[in-house]
Chain A
Amino acid sequence: RKTTKSKRQYRYWDVPPVGYEHVTPLQYKAMQAAGQVPLIAST
């Protein structure tokens, strides 16, 4: 299985919310908890 490992293009993985590419997911969740960003961002 390892030999067939390909660089596939994912549609969902590692896609940050628009405008928040510079923060980490952990930072973003802290910002959500603090009410600085909405819980569901419009993507």
Chain B
Amino acid sequence: CSRLHTKPTFSQTILIQGLYQNPQINNTAAGTFTDVEMQEHYDNFFEEVFVELEEKYGSIEEMNVCDNLGDHLVGNVYIKFHREEDAEKAVNDLNNRWFNGQPMISELSTVTDFREACCR
């Protein structure tokens, strides 16, 4: 795949690039994490993102975090809103917000069915 995907003008789904920092990948602290700690870390992240997005931008149909280790995918978060307007509002606003010491990088995505989400 050339990764030169066409970007939609309207979509219910947004992509936030590299939002989830897996502590086992960017492991600067000494020691490793147990499965329970990893799950807890992930759950906290998921809840914090989900709650804020839903409160601020609109109701969410589905949210997925990429656990794929491919450089271009790792930590990507896909959020499908119920309404296209909410997705648009979210993308515009998120691009000017910080998250965990980084600027957020957000765009509309063509993905509508996450089980079919594969580049062809």
In this complex, the interface size class of chain B, counting residues with CB under 8 Å from chain A, is 10 to 19
Number of interface residues of A (CB under 8 A): 20
Chain A: minimal CB distance from B104 (Å): 7
Contact A25 B45, beta carbon cutoff 8 Å: no
Partner of A25, one of B44, B49, B100, B104: B104
Determine the chain A residues whose CB is within 8 A of the CB of B35 once the complex forms.
Answer: none
Stretch at the interface among B5-13, B78-86, B91-99, B108-116: B91-99
Q: Which B33-73 residues have a C-beta within 8 angstroms of A?
A: 44-45, 48-49, 51-52, 55
Per-position 1/0 for A3-36, Cβ under 8 A of B: 0010010111111111000001110110010000
Contacting A41 at CB < 8 Å: which of B44, B97, B101?
Answer: B101
Main secondary structure of the interface of B (DSSP, over half): mixed
Q: Are A15 and B103 in contact (CB under 8 A)?
A: no
Q: Is the interface of A mostly helix, strand, loop or mixed?
A: loop
Query: Does chain A have a CB within 8 A of B102?
Result: yes
Across the interface, do A26 and B55 meet the contact criterion of CB distance under 8 Å? no
Complex: chain B residue closest to A18, CB-CB: B101
B102–A41 CB distance below 8 A = yes
Smallest distance from the beta carbon of B99 to chain A beta carbons, Å?
Answer: 5
What residues make up the interface of B, taking CB atoms closer than 8 Å to A? 44-45, 48-49, 51-52, 55, 95-105
